[in-house]
């Protein structure tokens, strides 16, 4: 059976480079389930054709006149799927991506046929208006096994439970790596299960230990040049392949790449980043790219990570040394994967990585269409590690277990259920929870009492009111639910709004209320932290407050346009860490501004401006200049100093005069003037709403 035999038009094949593939047996079986209009859980290894099945289902759903919600766990994956699925515009489908602003209702998306979003965004849409689900005919839940992940998993679990509750006619297509309890997950979804261990590119797995590669305990080959990580990697590079080396920490990933021998002379144009915006990691990566190597982790700026990924795909980079987050993110396969570390240091002790994490990394080996065979090797540095590594080769993964039964999530979700009208009595709330994976796995122990306690909490702090056992969100509670923030964070913000406004304390409150992730405190940080807390009248000297103080100081330097290198040296933090934290804190400041409309409307504008400044890392006078595409914090400041202090002045600028400013090429100047004119003609700021 070929793709064309499934009833798709010739234009559909453009999604797959115009090729009419012969379906694999598991794909054909899956398509038969889709044709019967049944729910489906497809669990197969990475690169075994899950995407093709999903796209056939989406096409059939589109032709039936129904919307598709395509849910992925990460923004980067959403971008990938959007790039592919927008090709369906050729057959008339309206395709969009929605991964940003949580404070928007589904009304803006109702004109689209295919909507790609993260699980958090999908959950926030349900918070605003669950009736939106009546218009959805198909939900594709990509990487469904992550429903057992502690932070993102419960968001997806809520969306799928809401879909089954609101619109039982919605078809659910779950795409997953093989998991131990796939039958249980399929049973919860009411789905047919299609399972296969087939890989289009065969995978050789092994353990590197004491100058040997063990395919099993008794089957091994000797390594003539030893088992040094670079020697093993070069074996594949010399054969024309590419390699991903996974390390347990950022520092180790960097060291591996820096110490790697030069592979090729790579006269690649360096990334055009203003020198004042380069941190030392970006500069190091640029030097490494010239010899065909790079490292990749969350401490790098977004544009540098994207550059490494693009250069690897183009073959300009032969070896990437990365942290395990790369395996859970974008699709970036290689001929060989070398897992150098099988332990992780966390919460004061070291522990082995889970089988699922190892399988996720190993699954990156073998590029369909490029490699006839993939290689995935785990390193062992001790007898104990060797025994553990052999266990990884058995291919068994841990079962997917619901993480919904966390008190903070129960609190968050009960408010959402009441605010959205999905459940407005205690019995209805328990009925909803009874349809979750948590209930299906009999993990409801203690949930009834926790629900009672949560309802009392929500009433006590004025999130909800109750009349004759029927609950309703107050204006405050509805706004908190729509803003997609935790009720305890909202209480922290409301308490702050009773105090005098200052930028420093507003940022500090946003950090406390957020899950921006705190940063380790070194001995040199304590004097700065003590000074910050005392100067801003903060008497709380707990670990939490001191960590929040450090993040706050970083954000304050950021909005005052302190150069990146200076911040990096002062706080021991990477540009990527600043970007990720500023994104989260921006949203909390935006939420503070919305909540201030209920309590202190006079500070709303100040908070809105502060949110924009945190997003861009600028002082107030150049906020509007950063709304011009292509203009970041440094270029905006240079425009301002050169007399171009408004969008209007940039729109009316002489191209030659603009290109005389340092860092402005002729092409950039033309583009900037054109973009400024577009903004001026619209009379609006296209980047005015904070987005995540």
Q: How far apart are CA 374 and CA 201, in angstroms?
A: 6
CA distances for 623 relative to 66, 239, 640, 645, 646, angstroms: 41, 51, 11, 10, 10
The per-residue pLDDT for 226 is 79
Compute the average pLDDT of residues 4-25.
82
The per-residue pLDDT for 273 is 55
- Structural tokens at position 91: 């057959």
Q: How far apart are CA 13 and CA 16, in angstroms?
A: 5
Burial of 217 (0-12, 13-18, 19+ CB in 10 A): exposed
The per-residue pLDDT for 8 is 86
- Structural tokens at position 435: 């349809």
CA distances for 555 relative to 447, 511, 529, 578, angstroms: 39, 9, 13, 8
Q: pLDDT at residue 455 above 90? A: yes
**Tens digit of pLDDT for each residue in 220-250?**
999 888 788 999 999 999 999 999 999 999 9
The per-residue pLDDT for 597 is 94
CA distances for 227 relative to 214, 525, 528, angstroms: 12, 41, 46
Give the pLDDT band of residue 270 (cuts 50, 70, 90). low
Residue ranges and CATH numbers for the domains of the chain are: 3-195 (3.40.50.300), 203-392 (3.40.50.300), 407-484 (1.10.10.10), 619-692 (1.10.150.20)
**Tens digit of pLDDT for each residue in 92-108?**
999 999 887 666 767 77
- The residue among 167, 180, 200, 125 whose CA lies nearest residue 39 is 167
Q: In what order do the strands lie in the sheet with 114-118?
A: 95-98, 114-118, 67-72, 136-141, 171-176, 40-43, 192-195
- The residue among 354, 333, 335 whose CA lies nearest residue 343 is 354
Q: How far apart are CA 65 and CA 309, in angstroms?
A: 37
The per-residue pLDDT for 271 is 60
Work out the percent of the chain whose per-residue pLDDT is above 70: 95
CA angle at residue 303 from 298 to 307, to 5 degrees? Answer: 95
In this structure, what are the phi and psi dihedrals at residue 366, rounded to the nearest 5 degrees? 95, 105
Residue 242: HSE in the Cβ half-sphere, 13 Å Cα cutoff: 25
Helix (H, G, I), strand (E, B) or coil at 177: coil
The per-residue pLDDT for 275 is 52
Q: Across the chain, which distance is largest between two alpha carbons, in Å?
A: 79
Compute the average pLDDT of residues 50-55.
92
Q: pLDDT at residue 575 above 60? A: yes
**Tens digit of pLDDT for each residue in 15-27?**
777 778 889 999 9
Q: Which helix (H) or strand (E) holds 385?
A: helix 383-392
- Helix, strand and coil content of the chain, in percent to the nearest 5, comes to 50, 15, 35
Give the pLDDT band of residue 136 (cuts 50, 70, 90). very high
Q: How far apart are CA 68 and CA 61, in angstroms?
A: 7
CA distances for 683 relative to 516, 615, 677, 686, angstroms: 34, 21, 10, 9
Compute the average pLDDT of residues 71-96.
90
Residue 418: HSE in the Cβ half-sphere, 13 Å Cα cutoff: 30
The per-residue pLDDT for 108 is 77
The per-residue pLDDT for 688 is 43
Place of tokens 């082995």: 352
Q: pLDDT at residue 663 above 50? A: yes
Give the pLDDT band of residue 75 (cuts 50, 70, 90). confident
The per-residue pLDDT for 692 is 34
Q: pLDDT at residue 625 above 70? A: yes
**Tens digit of pLDDT for each residue in 163-220?**
999 999 999 999 998 888 999 999 999 999 999 989 889 999 999 999 999 998 889 9
Q: How far apart are CA 399 and CA 368, in angstroms?
A: 28
Q: How far apart are CA 261 and CA 243, in angstroms?
A: 14
Q: Minimum mean pLDDT among 199-208, 340-349, 437-446, 673-682: which range?
A: 340-349
Q: pLDDT at residue 368 above 90? A: no
Q: How far apart are CA 235 and CA 256, in angstroms?
A: 16
Give the pLDDT band of residue 274 (cuts 50, 70, 90). low
Q: Which helix (H) or strand (E) holds 331?
A: none
Separate counts of helices (H) and strands (E) for the chain: 28, 19
Helix (H, G, I), strand (E, B) or coil at 376: strand
Give the pLDDT band of residue 331 (cuts 50, 70, 90). confident
Place of tokens 């075994």: 48
The per-residue pLDDT for 687 is 43
Burial of 81 (0-12, 13-18, 19+ CB in 10 A): buried
Q: How far apart are CA 502 and CA 360, in angstroms?
A: 46
**Tens digit of pLDDT for each residue in 280-324?**
888 899 999 999 999 999 889 888 999 999 999 999 999 999 998
Q: How far apart are CA 32 and CA 666, in angstroms?
A: 56
Q: How far apart are CA 535 and CA 599, in angstroms?
A: 26
Contact by Cβ (8 Å): 649, 660: no
The mean predicted confidence, pLDDT, of the chain is 90
């Amino acid at each position: 059976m070929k793709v064309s035999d499934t009833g798709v038009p010739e234009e559909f094949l453009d999604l797959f480079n115009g090729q009419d593939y012969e379906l694999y047996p598991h794909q054909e079986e899956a398509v038969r389930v889709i044709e019967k209009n049944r729910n489906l859980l497809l669990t197969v290894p990475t690169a075994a054709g899950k995407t093709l099945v999903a796209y056939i289902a989406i096409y059939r759903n589109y032709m039936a006149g129904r919307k598709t919600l395509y849910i992925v766990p990460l923004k980067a994956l959403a971008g990938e799927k959007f790039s592919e699925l927008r090709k369906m515009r050729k057959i008339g489908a309206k395709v969009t991506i929605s991964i940003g602003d949580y404070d928007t209702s589904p009304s803006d998306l109702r004109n689209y046929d295919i909507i790609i979003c993260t699980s958090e965004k999908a959950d926030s849409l349900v918070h605003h208006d669950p009736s939106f689900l009546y218009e959805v005919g198909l939900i594709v839940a990509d990487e469904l096994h992550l429903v057992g992940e502690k932070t993102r998993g419960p968001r997806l679990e809520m969306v799928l439970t809401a879909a089954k509750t609101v619109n039982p006619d919605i078809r659910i297509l779950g795409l997953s790596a093989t998991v131990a309890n796939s039958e249980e997950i399929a049973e919860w979804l009411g789905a047919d299960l299609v399972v296969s261990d087939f890989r289009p590119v065969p995978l050789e797995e092994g353990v590197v230990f004491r100058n040997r590669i063990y395919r099993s305990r008794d089957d091994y080959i000797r390594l003539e040049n030893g088992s040094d990580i670079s020697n093993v990697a070069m074996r594949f590079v010399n054969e024309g392949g590419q390699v991903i080396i996974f390390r347990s920490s950022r520092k180790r990933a960097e060291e591996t790449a820096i110490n790697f021998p030069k592979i090729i002379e790579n006269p690649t144009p360096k990334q055009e980043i203003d020198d004042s915006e380069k941190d030392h990691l970006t500069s190091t990566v640029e030097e490494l790219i010239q010899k065909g190597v790079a490292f990749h982790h969350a401490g790098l700026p977004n544009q540098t990570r994207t550059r490494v990924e693009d250069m690897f795909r183009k073959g300009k980079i032969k070896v990437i040394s990365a942290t395990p987050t790369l395996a859970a993110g974008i699709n970036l396969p290689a001929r060989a994967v070398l897992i150098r570390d099988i332990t992780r240091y966390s919460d004061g002790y070291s522990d082995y990585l889970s089988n699922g994490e190892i399988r996720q990394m190993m699954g990156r080996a073998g590029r369909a269409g490029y490699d006839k065979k993939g290689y995935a090797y785990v390193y062992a540095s001790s007898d104990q590690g060797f025994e553990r590594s052999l266990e990884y080769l058995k291919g068994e993964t841990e079962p997917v277990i619901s993480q919904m039964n966390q008190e903070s999530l129960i609190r968050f979700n009960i408010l959402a259920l009441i605010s959205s009208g999905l459940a407005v009595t205690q019995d209805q709330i328990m009925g909803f929870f009874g349809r979750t994976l948590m209930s299906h796995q009999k993990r409801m122990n203690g949930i009834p009492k926790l629900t009672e306690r949560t309802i009392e909490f929500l009433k006590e702090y004025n999130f909800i009111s109750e009349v004759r056992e029927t609950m309703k969100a107050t204006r405050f509670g509805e706004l908190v639910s729509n803003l997609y923030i935790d009720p305890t964070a909202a209480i922290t913000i409301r308490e702050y709004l009773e105090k005098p406004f200052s930028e420093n304390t507003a940022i500090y409150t946003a950090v406390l209320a957020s899950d921006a992730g705190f940063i380790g405190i070194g001995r040199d940080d304590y004097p700065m932290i003590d000074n910050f807390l005392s100067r801003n009248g903060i008497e709380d000297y707990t670990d939490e407050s001191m960590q929040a103080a450090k993040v706050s100081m970083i954000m304050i330097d950021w909005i005052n346009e302190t150069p990146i290198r200076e911040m990096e040296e002062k706080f021991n933090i990477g540009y990527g860490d600043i970007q990720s934290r500023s994104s989260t804190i921006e949203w909390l400041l935006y939420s503070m501004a919305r909540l201030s409309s209920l309590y202190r409307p006079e500070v709303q504008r100040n908070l809105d401006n502060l949110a924009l400044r945190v997003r861009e890392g600028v002082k107030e006078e150049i906020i509007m200049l950063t709304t011009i595409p292509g203009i970041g914090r440094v270029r905006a400041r240079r425009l301002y100093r050169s007399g171009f202090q408004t969008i209007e002045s940039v729109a009316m600028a002489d191209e030659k005069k603009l290109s005389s400013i340092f860092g402005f090429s002729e092409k950039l100047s033309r583009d900037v003037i054109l973009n400024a004119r577009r903004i001026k003609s619209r009379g609006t700021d296209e980047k005015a709403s904070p987005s995540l």
